[in-house]
Chains A and B, each alone.
Chain A
Amino acid sequence: MSGLVDILSWACLVAGAVFSVIGTVGLIRMPDFYTRVHAASVTDTVGAGLLLVGMMLQAGFTLVTVKLIIIGLLILFTSPTATHALCKAALMRGLKPLLADGEAPSKR
């Protein structure tokens, strides 16, 4: 039973790290600001969530798990708020999205 929980938590930790790397690869390679926002959201949701679940499985029913749940709730509430404010501020300052051909291209 303990070995199964260990295997599950290690899988969650490795998958969380891999998703974090995938999100930042998208942050580098995406062509436009708004697509970069999309790529960065992978890091904030799946990457952080899987890492937290892996650490919770290692900790068991202790105070550490409560703190990890608090960190997870903090990320889940503040990350969409920050992303929404970021995109709204970028639109208000006149940053155009990159559209399909035939439309006006964005300033990269």
Chain B
Amino acid sequence: MFTAAAAGLLVALAMALVRAVRGPSVFDRVLAANTIGTLSLMLLSVIGFLTGRPEFLDLAIIYGLLNVIGTIAVLKFFRFGDLGEPGSEGTGR
């Protein structure tokens, strides 16, 4: 039954990848990357149960932390133009 859940998650990952490739604006791509991050987090946990190795859960925690940091960093870059000062809007446009 973990195999069925992993197969469904792989189908969902493929469809999120389609949106990431086709996305008209950069925000669609960031949204698809965020969804792919969540889905791969769940896929890592399911694979950990599927193979009987609970170490995969630690990898999933690390992946979730990196995912949110990456999303916020990319969004701050596209909103403010740089990563350094939040007040300097419009410098890098």
- Contact surface of A with B, Cβ cutoff 8 Å: 10, 13-14, 16-18, 20-21, 23-25, 27-28, 33, 36-37, 40, 43-44, 47-48, 51-52, 54-55, 58-59, 63-64, 67-68, 70-71, 74-75, 78-79, 81-83, 85-86, 88-90, 92-93, 95, 107-108
In chain A, what residue has the closest Cβ to B36? A24
CB contacts (< 8 Å) of B7 on chain A: these are: 17
- Contact surface of B with A, Cβ cutoff 8 Å: 1-2, 4-5, 7-9, 11-13, 15-16, 18-19, 24-25, 27-28, 30-32, 34-35, 38-39, 41-42, 45-46, 49, 54, 57-58, 60-61, 64-65, 67-68, 71-72, 75-76, 78-79
In chain A, what residue has the closest Cβ to B17? A24
**Which among A13, A33, A67, A74 is the interface contact of B27 at CB below 8 angstroms?**
A33
Known: A36-B19, A89-B27. A13 touches B41 (CB 8 A): no
In chain A, what residue has the closest Cβ to B14? A24
Chain B: minimal CB distance from A78 (Å): 4
Instruction: Identify whether the interface residues of A are mostly helix, strand, loop, or mixed.
Output: helix
Known: A20-B8, A28-B15. A89 touches B38 (CB 8 A): no
Give Cα A40–Cα B27 distance, bound, in whole angstroms: 13
| Pairwise interchain contact B16-A24, C-beta atoms closer than 8 A | yes
Beyond A20-B12, A24-B35, A90-B27, list 14 extra A-B contacts (CB 8 Å).
A10-B1, A13-B5, A17-B5, A20-B42, A28-B15, A33-B25, A40-B31, A75-B41, A78-B64, A85-B72, A86-B27, A86-B71, A93-B78, A95-B25
Count, A-B residue pairs, CB within 8 A: 144
Give Cα A4–Cα B32 distance, bound, in whole angstroms: 37
CB contacts (< 8 Å) of B24 on chain A: these are: 107-108
| Pairwise interchain contact B9-A20, C-beta atoms closer than 8 A | yes
Chain A: minimal CB distance from B48 (Å): 8
Chain B: minimal CB distance from A61 (Å): 14
